[in-house]
Structure 1
Amino acid sequence: MTVDAVSQNVPPATVTDPADPAARSDWHALPHEEVAGRLGVTATGLSAGEAQLRLERHGPNALPETPGRHPLLRFLAQFNSALIYFLLAGATAALILGHGVDAGVIIAVVLINALVGFVQEGKAEQALRAIRNMISPHANVLRDSRRISVEARDLVPGDIVLLEAGDRVPADTRLIRARGMLIDEAILTGESVAAAKREEPAPAEAALGDRHSMAFSGTTVAAGQGAGIVVSTGPHTQIGRIGRLIAEVEPLATPLLRQVDAFARRFTWTAIIGALVLFLFAVAARDYGWTDALMAVVALAVGVVPEGLPAVITITLAIGVRRMARRNAVIRRLPAVETLGATSVICSDKTGTLTRNEMTARRLIVPMPAGPAAIEVSGTGYSPEGELSWPRPGAPSEAAQDLLRCGLLCNDAHLHNEAGVWRVEGDPMEGALVSLAVKAGLSPALERGAWARRDEIPFDAAYRFMASLHQGPQGEAVIFVKGAPEEVLALCPAPGEGWNDAIAQAAAEGERVLGFAMKRLAEAPARLGFDDVRQGFVFLGLVGFIDPPRPEAVAAIAECRTAGIGVKMITGDHGATAGAIARQLGLAEEPVVVTGAEVDAASDEDLVGIAARTSVFARTSPENKLRIVRALQSTGAVVAMTGDGVNDAPSLKQADVGIAMGRKGTEAAKQAAEVVLLDDNFASIVAAVKEGRTVYDNIRKMIAWTLPTNGGEVLAVIAAIIVGSIMPMSPAQILWINLILTVTLGLALAFEPTEPGIMDRPPRAAGAALLSRFMLWRVIFVSVLFMLAAFAMFALSMARGQGVEMARTIVVNTIVVMEIFYLFNVRFLHMSSITWRGALGTPAVLLALAAVVAGQFAFTYLPMMQEIFDTRPVAFLDGVMIVGVGVLLMIVLEVEKALLRRLGVFSAEEM
C-alpha cells in the first residue's frame, strides 16, 4: 500500500490537542475525518516528536504487568486451611504413637497438595501473560510522510497504521481505508467467519462484531489491505479490557473443597472437645492415671482421624482425570474433576462446540414458473456425500444447473480428502459450494477445465459481490456473479416476485444466504470491469448455508435435560442464526433469545431472572458473558462455561469450571480454564460431567465406608472408658486397621465404574453438606454395629478364657472382615448390592481383597507381626465365626437399605 493512497483518506484537518482516547468508546460511529480531527492527525502522520510526547502521556501500547506475591508467601499460604491443620493433627497423633510411616504419608499428602496449589495459583497471571503475547510485536505506521516499522509498544493514539493480509492488528484502530479487507475476530467475538471491513461509520449501538469500521488489537487480517488511525492502546483496547476483567475475577473454591473444608473444621473441633472431655472423665470419674488417660485419648485421636482419607480423595480425583482424558477432556486442575460432576448449568459457545464449524449448503431456492422453489440438500460438513431433492419429479430446472455451475466457477476454494476427512482450502462458504456441486453430479476439475476463467473481480465489502469471466466449451462468454442477495438482485432487471420473502425466511431459519446471477456476452472483453457487471444479469437463485449442529451434541443436550442440567448458548453470532440452531439442537421448543445489548441494559438484579429463563444469548461481549455467569451463580447454580477466544477468558475464570477448546482455542482461554477439550465437542463435556458424577459418587462411597470404621473404633474406646472396661484394641492395632484398610479397600473404591442411572439424577445442590442426612445416618448406624460386634466378640473371647491378647486379635479380625462385607454393600448406594455384578466385584476390589486377606494372615500368624502388635493365632472355628459376623452385617445393611428406599425416609439426592 502506498503512502499516497493512505494520505488521500486523511483530511487536512486542523490539528487540535487530542482528547484522551480512553474517554471515548464510540470511535466506530464517527466519520473517520472527525476521528482524524479529534486526534490531531494530518496526511503526513504524526511527527517523531509528537509521537514521543503522546507515548509519555498515554504510556506504552502493552498490557500492564501485575505484581505477584513472593513465591515463598504463595507456598506458605497453601497450608492455611482447616483441612491442613486437621491432617497435621493426625500426623502428630501418629508420631506420638511412634508410627512414623503413617506420619510420613500424611505429611507427604500435605506437601503434595501445597505444591499443586502453588503451581495452579498462578493461573490468572498465566492467562494475562498469554493475552499480552497476542499483541503484535511490530507495526507499520505513517510518520513524517514516511512508512516506517516501529515496535508495537511504541504506538500511540493518532498513529496511522498500515495493515495487510497476514498482519496482526497492533492496536484498536478506526479504519480510514479498507480494500477487500477481512479480519478474523474469532478471539474477540467467537465468529468463525472473518468480518468484512469498510470505512463508513457503524451504528453507535453496534455490537463488537458489527463494528465494521474498526480493527481490534490482537485480531488478524485474513484478506485485503487497509489503513487506520490508532484510537486506543494498551489497557484501553478491547483486549486490554478483557485483561482487566480477568485480573478482577476472584478464584472460586470448588464445591468439594468447600465441603471438605467445612467438614474438616467441624470434625477437628468435635475431636478436640471430645478428647478433652474424655480425658477429664477418665481422670476424674474412672480414676485413670494421667499416663493411662493420655494413652486412651491418643487411641481416640488415632481412631477418629481418617489419616488416609485425603490421600485417597486425591487419588480418586487423579483416576477421574485419567478417565476424562480418554473422553477427550484434559483436566488442568485436579478439583475440577469433581466440580464437573456438580454442574447444574452449562453455558456453551455455538460454533464448533454445538455445531460442526463447517458450512454446509442446506438448500437451493431457484426460479420456477410458479415462483421460487426450494431444493433441499442432504449431508453435513464439507463431505460431498448427499443428494438434492428437486422440487418436482423429472429433470431439474435449467436455472438450478446454472446456479450450481455459477457457485462452482465463481469460486476460489478447493476440497481435499485427508485421511478420510474433507478439508476446505479457502473460504468456508465457497468450500460448501464445491461440495454442493459434487453432490449434484458436477466434477470440479472437468467444469473448471471446460469453463476457463479469463478474469475476475474479487469480493470486496464495498460492493459485496464477486464476479468471474469464463469462456465456455462452445466458445461462449459468460459472467458469473455471487454475493449478498440484495446486491445481486440489483444487477438483474426482472428477477421475479417472492425473492425478498425467500431471503427473509432463510434468515429467520438461521441460514446465511448468497445470491447468484449470470450474464451471457456476445464477445468476451479483454478485462472484466465494473461496467460489465452493472446490469443485464439473469437471477439464478439463492443458496442457504448453515453450520449444522453436531448430531452427538443433540443427544448430549437431551441427556442433560434428563440429568437436570440446564444448557445455555452464549455466542457472538446473530440472534436469528443462534435461535434457529438452538431449535435444531433441542435447547427449547421456542428458545428465548436475548442480545448483548439487552444484557447491557438490564440491572444485576433483573439479569438473574433473565439468565434463568433465557436459552440463547447472542452478540455478546466479554462483559456480558461475565455478568451472565455471575447471575447464574447467584442462584446457587454450579456453572460450567465453554469458550475458545480471548473474549471468553474472564468468564472461563469466573465459572465454577472453565472449559477451553483444544483445537481452536487461544492460549489465553486455555490458561484461564480448568478443562481443555481435545475435540472441541459438546458431547465430550457431558461425558466429562458423567465422569465427574462418578468421581463424586466414589468419594461419597469412600467416606461412607471409611468413617464407620473410625466411628466404631472411637465408640469402642469411649464405651470402654465409660464402663471401666479393658480396651478391646490397642492404639497400635487401631493404626494397623486404618492403614491396612485405607490403602487397599479404600483405594479400590476409587476405581468403581459408573452406577446405572447416574445421569437420571438431578445435580446435587452446590451448598449440600459432604455428609447428607442419609450418609450421617449410615455413619452412626454402622459405627454402632461395629462397636457392638467388637464388644460382643471381645466379651465372648474373654468369657471363654482366651485372654486379652487373643480377644483383641479376634476383635481386629472381626472389624476387618466386617469392613470387607461393608465394602460390597457400599459399592452400590442407589441399588441392591446382592447381584452378580455386586458379588463378582471389579479387578481393583478383588486385588484389594487379596491384599487385605494376606495382610491379616500375616498380622495374625506371622511371628514378627505377633511380636509388634501383640497378637495370637486364631483357631479355624473362630475364623468361621468371624466371617459369619461379616455375612450377618451384609444382610442387616441390605435390609436397612431396602426399607429406607421403600419408606422414602431419605430423598434420592440424599442417598
Structure 2
Amino acid sequence: MNDAAATPAAHPAYDTAPVVPAAEWHALTHEEVAGRLAVAASGLSVEEAAARLARHGPNALPEPPGRHPLLRFFTQFNSALIYFLLAGAAAALALGHHIDAGVILAVVLINAAVGFVQEGKAEQALRAIRSMIAPHASVMRASRRVSVHAHQLVPGDIVLLEAGDRVPADTRLIRARGMLIDEAILTGESVAAAKREEPAASGAPLGDRHSMAFSGTTVAAGQGTGIVVSTGPHTEIGRIGRLIAEVEPLATPLLRQVDAFARRFTWLAIGGAAALFLFAVGVRDYGWTDALIAVVALAVGVVPEGLPAVITITLAIGVRRMAARNAVIRRLPAVETLGATSVICSDKTGTLTRNEMTARRLILARGGDIVEIEVSGTGYAPEGELAWQGAGDPAIEADELLRCGLLCNDAHLHNEKGIWRVEGDPMEGALVSLAVKAGLSPAVERGSWGRLDEIPFDAAYRFMASLHRGPQGEAAIFVKGAPEDVLAICYEPGGLWEAAIARAAAQGERLLGFAAKRLDAPPARLDFPDVSEGCDFLGLIGFIDPPRPEAVAAIAECRSAGIAVTMITGDHAATAGAIARQLGLADDPVVVTGAQVDAASDADLVGIAARTAVFARTSPENKLRIVRALQSTGAVVAMTGDGVNDAPSLRQADVGIAMGRKGTEAAKQAAEVVLLDDNFASIVAAVKEGRTVYDNIRKMIAWTLPTNGGEVLAVIAAILLGITMPMSPAQILWINLILSATLGLALAFEPTEPGIMARPPRPSRTGLLTRFMLWRVVLVSLLFTLVAFAMFALSLWRGQGLEMARTIVVNTLVVMEIFYLFNVRFLHMNSITWRGALGTPAVLVALVAVVAGQFAFTYLPVMQAIFDTRPIAFLDGVMIVAVGVGLMVVLELEKALLRRLGVFTAAQM
C-alpha cells in the first residue's frame, strides 16, 4: 500500500463519490485503490473517519419512503369497482333493505383492509435488504484494530474479514488467504467464490470479480483484508434497493379486467337507468314514484352484489389449494395471475436442479488412452454404482483416485431422517458420497491414512494438498484442485488431457483434478515446495448439480400448456446450457450471457428474450430488463428467485415467486408467492391451480351476468311495453340474495376440469367477457326473459292473479338458475354426465339451501307477508321443474353445436 498518501486533500477527486465507477474498482490494483481513497497501511485516523462519515453519511440503506396509514387506507377505495359496489349499496338502501346494503359495505371494507395489509411490498423488501448489512466490523484505525458499528464505516476504511463474517461494505481486497465468499444472494452461484487480491478484468461480471467482497455476502472460509470502496446506497445491495424502489407495481390481469368491466358496467347502468326513467315518465306517463320504483328495480337487478365477494372467496380457496401444493400466496390476486402465466423465468440452482453436487464421471489415463467411468445416483445419498466399458471392477481401477478425493477432503455426510446432508463444501461432500458408492468407508480410510498436515485451498494456486501417513507407515501427499493447476505440478503432460477437459466442460460439468506424491518419510510440515512439482496425475472427476426429475416432467407439461420456460442464472453459460438440454427447455436451447444483454438495446432485447431459453452470468439489471422485455410483448411473466439480486425482477414480474428454503427475506418480501419446497414442479402445480381459479371465476361470471340480465330485461321490457312487471323489486332482491350467497359461491369450489393444462395461456389483454361469454350473456338473458314473461302470461291467463303469477315467475327463474349452474360447471365439455349430475359437496349443499329458501319464500306465512307471495300447487311446481330441464337441454345442445362448428376455440370459451 502507499504509505505516503497521507491526507485526502492531495486527492480532490475523492470529494465526488463514488471516486471511481463501481464497475471499475475490481480492475484497479490495491495500491491504486489506496492512492485514490487517500488511505495508508495504518488505516484512517479517527478524525478523518469522522469527517468522511459526515460527508458520505452512514453505511446504511435509506429508509423506504412511506405514506401515512390513513392515506394508504383511503386509497384502497379509489377504483371503479368500489364505486360500483357503493352504487349497489345505495340502490339497496333506496329500497329499504338495510341488511343487503350492510353486506355490500362490509365487502367494501374487507377488500380495503386486505389491500391495506398487502400494501407496501417495496418498503418491506427494502427493510429486509437493510437488515443484511453486518452490524459490526473489524477495522484498522490509526494503526489499531478496533470494532466499530457497520454504520460508521466509510470509504477508505481497512476492514479485516474472517470465516463466518458478513461483509459490511463493498470492499476491494488487498489480501486474501484461502478466502471463499458465499455470494449466492447477489449472483445465484451455489458454490462459494474464491477470492484473490490481483485485479479482475475490466468489465468482468459480478460473479467474476475475484478481487471484491460485496456487502451482505458471507465469508465461508479463509481470511482477508480489504479497503472499503462503497458504503450504504453506493454498494451492490444499495443499487439493488434503488432498483426495487424504481419498479412500479403492476396490476394483475384479473384486477385490470375487473376494473375495466366495472367502469363500463357502471356507466352503462347509470345511462340505462336514466334513459329508462325518462322514458317511463315522458312516454309511458308513469308517475314519478312509479318510475323511481321501476328504476330502482332495474338497479337492483343489474348490480351483481355478490360478484366481488365471490371472486375474493374463490381466490381465497385457491390460496388454500396452493398451500397444499407447497406454494404460499402472499397477495390474493397472485392466485389468478399464476393461471394467466405465459412465461416462467426460473433460477437454475435448487429450483430446476437439486442444489446437490454429484460426481458424474471419473476420467483416467490407461495405456496412453483416456477412459471414463460413469457414476449413477444423484445428490449426496451414497446410492449408485460405477460402470465402464473396460474389463474388471471400475472401483478397483480408480481406487487411488477415489482415495485421494476422500482424504484430501474436509467434508462429512450425515443422514438426517433419511435425508443425506453435507457438512462442508458441496463438491467435497460429493466426493465422500462417491467413495462410499465405490465401497470405501470414510471412517476406515481416514483412520488408516491419518492426516499430518495440509495446505488449504487458495485462489492464488487453486488447489488443496494434504499430507498423510499410511497404514504401513508410508507417507503420501494428495492434491485436488483446478485441473490446469494440478497438471502443472505433475509429470503427466497436459496435452493428453486437454480434449477430455474441454469435452467435460462443454457438457456443463465442473472439473477437479487429482494428484498424489509418494514419500519415503513425511516432512515435519507440508510446505508449498513439497507439492510444487513431481506429483503423479491421477485423473479428473466431473461434477454436476443434476436436474430435479420432477422439474423435467413439469417443464414438459409447461410446453404442452404453451408456457415458455426461460432459465436466468448467474452460472456459466456452458453449465447452464447443458442443464437446459437435460431439462428439455427447448429442442436446441439458445444461450445468451449477461454481457450480451448489456450490449443489446431495449428494442433488440425484446427479440432476444423471445427466442432465448437460457440467460447466463446475469446481473440484477439484466434480469429486470429481460422481464420488462418479455412483458412488452404482452406476456404474463412469473419470475423465481432467492437472492437479494432477484428482488427487483421479482417485484417487476407479474407474479414473483421466492424460494422458501434458501430464499433471502428480501426476495420473499418482494414476491407474491413463496415456494416451501423450492421446487419448480410446485410452480407448475400452482399455475394449474391458478387456471382452475380463473376458470371458476369465469364460471361464476357466466352464471351471474346472464341471470341478472334476465331480470333486467324483464324490467325493461315491462316498461317499454307498458305492462305490469313480472316481479316486484323486493322479489328481484330476494333472487339475488338467495342465489349469490349459495349457488354462486358453490362454483368457487369446482375442481380442475380435465385437459386444463393442454390449453394455451389466455392472452393478457383478453377482457373479462370473451366473445363466448358475451354470446352466453345475450342468449341466456333472452331465454330467461322470454320464459319469465311466458310463465307470467300463462298464470294470468289461467286467472291465478298477479301475486300468484309473480310467485311462479320467481320460482321459475330460481329453478332455471339451478339447472343453468349445472350447465356452467363444465364450459369446455358436456355437462350431462354422471360426474356432472352428482355435482360436488359444495353444489349439493347450496342446492339444498336454495330449495329450502324457496319453500320458505313460497309457503312460509311470514315470507308471504314480506314478499307478497302465494303457495304454488304441485302440478305448477312440476311444470316449473320441467322448464328448468328444458333450459339445460337447450344450452347443452348449443354448447355442442358451437364446439362442432368451431365457432369458439377452447381459449375463447
Q: Give the TM-score normalised by structure 1.
A: 0.98
Contact 1:367 1:399 in 2 (8 A): no
The one-letter amino acid of 1:484's match is A
Partner of 1:102: 100
The one-letter amino acid of 1:388's match is L
CA displacement at 1:474 relative to structure 2: 1.6
Partner of 1:30: 28
1:636 aligns with 2:634: yes
Partner of 1:568: 566
The one-letter amino acid of 1:206's match is A
1:71 aligns with 2:69: yes
CA displacement at 1:390 relative to structure 2: 2.4
1:774 aligns with 2:776: no
Q: State how far apart, in whole Å, the 1-side matches of 2:856 and 2:396 are.
A: 89
Give the one of 662, 666, 685 matched to 1:668: 666
List per-residue Cα deviations over 1:7-30 (Å, max 9, x = no partner).
Answer: xx5654465325234242200000
Q: State how far apart, in whole Å, the 1-side matches of 2:4 and 2:456 are.
A: 32
Partner of 2:355: 357
Deviates more, 1:717-726 or 1:301-310: 717-726
CA displacement at 1:495 relative to structure 2: 4.4
Any idea what SS the aligned residue of 2:656 has?
Answer: strand
CA displacement at 1:494 relative to structure 2: 2.5
Give the one of 160, 163, 166 matched to 1:162: 160
1:872 aligns with 2:897: no
Partner of 1:4: none
Q: State how far apart, in whole Å, the 2-side matches of 1:628 and 1:476 are.
A: 58
The one-letter amino acid of 1:55's match is L
Any idea what SS the aligned residue of 2:741 has?
Answer: helix
Q: State how far apart, in whole Å, the 1-side matches of 2:5 and 2:375 are.
A: 55
The one-letter amino acid of 2:291's match is A
Give the one of 323, 326, 340 matched to 1:325: 323
List per-residue Cα deviations over 1:85-136 (Å, max 9, x = no partner).
Answer: 0000000101111111211111111111111111111111000010011111
Give the one of 302, 313, 320 matched to 1:304: 302
Contact 1:713 1:787 in 2 (8 A): yes
1:475-624 maps to which residues of 2 (within 5 A)? 475-495=473-493, 497-624=495-622
Deviates more, 1:490-499 or 1:463-472: 490-499
1:473 aligns with 2:477: no
1:124-163 maps to which residues of 2 (within 5 A)? 124-163=122-161
Any idea what SS the aligned residue of 2:318 has?
Answer: helix
List per-residue Cα deviations over 1:851-890 (Å, max 9, x = no partner).
Answer: 1111111111111111111111111000000000000000
> Unaligned 5+ residue runs, structure 2?
none
List per-residue Cα deviations over 1:363-389 (Å, max 9, x = no partner).
Answer: 000111141111110000000111111
CA displacement at 1:907 relative to structure 2: 2.1
Q: State how far apart, in whole Å, the 1-side matches of 2:423 and 2:631 are.
A: 42
Partner of 1:444: 442
Partner of 1:5: none
Percent of paired sites with the same residue: 83
Q: State how far apart, in whole Å, the 2-side matches of 1:496 and 1:139 are.
A: 44
Contact 1:371 1:497 in 2 (8 A): no
CA displacement at 1:397 relative to structure 2: 7.6
Contact 2:302 2:712 in 1 (8 A): yes
Q: Give the TM-score normalised by structure 2.
A: 0.98
The one-letter amino acid of 1:274's match is G
The one-letter amino acid of 2:92's match is A
Q: State how far apart, in whole Å, the 1-side matches of 2:396 and 2:490 are.
A: 17
Give the one of 848, 852, 855 matched to 2:853: 855
Q: State how far apart, in whole Å, the 1-side matches of 2:616 and 2:143 are.
A: 43
CA displacement at 1:505 relative to structure 2: 0.9
Q: State how far apart, in whole Å, the 2-side matches of 1:492 and 1:165 are.
A: 31
CA displacement at 1:318 relative to structure 2: 0.1
> Unaligned 5+ residue runs, structure 1?
1-8
CA displacement at 1:529 relative to structure 2: 1.5
Contact 1:10 1:176 in 2 (8 A): no
Partner of 1:910: 908
CA displacement at 1:399 relative to structure 2: 5.4
Q: State how far apart, in whole Å, the 2-side matches of 1:773 and 1:343 are.
A: 21
Q: State how far apart, in whole Å, the 2-side matches of 1:513 and 1:66 are.
A: 44
Partner of 1:6: none
Contact 2:387 2:394 in 1 (8 A): no
Partner of 1:346: 344
Deviates more, 1:114-123 or 1:302-311: 114-123
Any idea what SS the aligned residue of 2:764 has?
Answer: coil
Q: State how far apart, in whole Å, the 2-side matches of 1:44 and 1:445 are.
A: 47
CA displacement at 1:209 relative to structure 2: 0.5
Contact 1:507 1:513 in 2 (8 A): yes
Q: Using a 3 Å threshold, how does the CA distance of structure 1 residues 556 and 573 change in structure 2: closer, same or farther?
A: same
Any idea what SS the aligned residue of 1:651 has?
Answer: helix
1:733 aligns with 2:692: no
The one-letter amino acid of 1:211's match is R
The one-letter amino acid of 2:51's match is L
The one-letter amino acid of 2:349's match is T
The one-letter amino acid of 2:500's match is A
Q: State how far apart, in whole Å, the 1-side matches of 2:278 and 2:698 are.
A: 35
Q: State how far apart, in whole Å, the 2-side matches of 1:104 and 1:393 are.
A: 84
List per-residue Cα deviations over 1:635-682 (Å, max 9, x = no partner).
Answer: 000000000000000000000000000000000000000000000000
Partner of 1:757: 755
List per-residue Cα deviations over 1:513-563 (Å, max 9, x = no partner).
Answer: 000011111112221111211212111100000000000000001101001
Q: State how far apart, in whole Å, the 2-side matches of 1:612 and 1:593 are.
A: 12
Partner of 1:3: none
Q: State how far apart, in whole Å, the 2-side matches of 1:463 and 1:181 are.
A: 12
The one-letter amino acid of 1:733's match is Q
Any idea what SS the aligned residue of 2:452 has?
Answer: strand
CA displacement at 1:151 relative to structure 2: 1.4
Contact 1:45 1:160 in 2 (8 A): yes
CA displacement at 1:391 relative to structure 2: 3.1
1:255-334 maps to which residues of 2 (within 5 A)? 255-334=253-332
The one-letter amino acid of 2:268's match is T
1:711 aligns with 2:709: yes
CA displacement at 1:150 relative to structure 2: 1.1
Q: State how far apart, in whole Å, the 1-side matches of 2:555 and 2:672 are.
A: 22
The one-letter amino acid of 1:32's match is H
1:238-257 maps to which residues of 2 (within 5 A)? 238-257=236-255
CA displacement at 1:396 relative to structure 2: 3.1
Q: State how far apart, in whole Å, the 1-side matches of 2:712 and 2:78 are.
A: 28
The one-letter amino acid of 1:626's match is L
The one-letter amino acid of 1:693's match is R
Q: State how far apart, in whole Å, the 2-side matches of 1:672 and 1:495 are.
A: 52
1:361-376 maps to which residues of 2 (within 5 A)? 361-376=359-374
Any idea what SS the aligned residue of 1:797 has?
Answer: helix
The one-letter amino acid of 1:519's match is K
Partner of 2:885: 887
Q: State how far apart, in whole Å, the 1-side matches of 2:330 and 2:586 are.
A: 32
Any idea what SS the aligned residue of 1:372 has?
Answer: strand
1:10-21 maps to which residues of 2 (within 5 A)? 11-13=3-5, 15=7, 16-17=10-11, 19=14, 20-21=16-17
CA displacement at 1:469 relative to structure 2: 1.2
Q: State how far apart, in whole Å, the 2-side matches of 1:12 and 1:374 are.
A: 58
Any idea what SS the aligned residue of 2:410 has?
Answer: coil
The one-letter amino acid of 1:864's match is V
Q: State how far apart, in whole Å, the 2-side matches of 1:566 and 1:353 are.
A: 16
Q: State how far apart, in whole Å, the 1-side matches of 2:368 and 2:536 are.
A: 17
How many residues align structurally?
903
Any idea what SS the aligned residue of 1:498 has?
Answer: helix
Contact 1:11 1:33 in 2 (8 A): no
The one-letter amino acid of 2:353's match is T
List per-residue Cα deviations over 1:398-434 (Å, max 9, x = no partner).
Answer: 6511000111111111111100000001110000000
The one-letter amino acid of 2:634's match is G
